[in-house]
Amino acid sequence: MQIAYRANHLIDAHLAKHALEDAGITAFVFGESLLGGMGELPLFGVVQVCVADAALHRAQEVLRALGLGGEVTRAV
């Protein structure tokens, strides 16, 4: 699995995930359950949208077309 997108918040992550799925790319949201871990304080960078290694290039293209970037820094 590769990180295709680091979301600022949960809604952002799911929008990216659904856009990838609409393009035929299976995507997963990781870090969703960590959002309540710090109480009311917002956590940034913990929610990630991940795709299979083979789908990374196409996922980045889809996300860039939506203006979401899609640069990967490391594998999951």
Could you tell me the pTM of the whole model? Answer: 0.78
pLDDT score for 71: 54
Residue 75 located in a structural domain: no
Residue 9 lies in a domain: yes
Task: State the Cα–Cα distance between residues 56 and 9, nearest whole angstrom.
Answer: 21
The type of residue at 9 is: H
- Which of residues 9 and 13 earns the better pLDDT score? 13
pLDDT reported for residue 8: 82
Domain that residue 10 falls in? 2-47+55-65
Residue at 38 is within a domain:
yes
Q: State how beta strands 2-7 and 47-51 pair.
A: antiparallel
Residue 74 in any domain: the answer is: no
Model confidence pLDDT, tens digit, residues 14-72: 999 999 999 999 999 998 766 555 555 555 567 899 999 999 999 999 999 988 864 55
> Is residue 71, in this structure, part of any structural domain at all?
no
Cβ atoms 26, 17 nearer than 8 A: no
| Within-domain flag for 73 | no
Token output for 50: 């991940």
**pLDDT for res 73:** 53
Dist CA 5 CA 26 (whole Å): 13
Is the backbone of residue 46 left (phi > 0), alpha (psi -120 to 50) or beta? alpha
Number of domains comprising the chain: 1
